[in-house]
Amino acid sequence: MLRARRGGRPAPAAPPGAEAVLSRVHAKDWIAGYERAWRAAGTDALEHLFTRDATYLMAPFEAAIVGLDAIARMWEVERDGPDERFAMGSEIVALDGDVVVARVAVRYEGPAPIEYRDLWIMRFAADGRCRHFEEWPFWPGQPLARGRRS
């Protein structure tokens, strides 16, 4: 979750090159685990969510954050900590093989509440952990374009 914006155990390892075949239940459980990890102190839960070599894009045109350690550092910078007050809801929009697309709504509380509606595109490894996470964040008042082209 992007800030200014914003787990269980991994399954046994599958044979190299095996593709994950996901269910909606697994996708919903993974998103719930992500929310629990965001709310928890520290970043230990990330190893149950992401592969060691996972890539994480905070927005579609941002540089990828590569590797579990880099993702953990980003999480510590981006979130306020376990006392951060927010509500989160999600809906699985599409699921195809190892790819899940979800619509995620997050509302951060505080003196100046802020709300996001994101699309998350996730690609999973055969062990059920995410190997690629791409966030498309949207918020009220976000410019839709830099300007019109002539």
pLDDT digits (tens, 9 = 90+) for 38-95: 999 999 999 999 999 999 999 999 999 999 999 999 999 998 877 889 999 999 999 9
Cβ-Cβ contacts under 8 Å for 146 (sequence gap 6 or more): none
Place of tokens 């880099």: 70
**pLDDT greater than 70 at residue 147:** no
Q: Residue 135 — φ and ψ, nearest 5°?
A: -110, 135
pLDDT band at 2 (very low <50, low <70, confident <90, very high): very low
pLDDT band at 21 (very low <50, low <70, confident <90, very high): low
Percent of the residues in the chain that have a pLDDT greater than 90, as a whole number: 68
Backbone region of residue 81 per phi and psi (left: phi > 0; alpha: psi in -120 to 50; beta: other values)? left
Fold held by 24-138: Nuclear Transport Factor 2; Chain: A, (3.10.450)
Tens of pLDDT, residue by residue over 22-38, are: 899 999 999 999 999 99
89-101: b or e for each residue (b if 16 or more CB lie within 10 Å)?
ebebeebeebebb
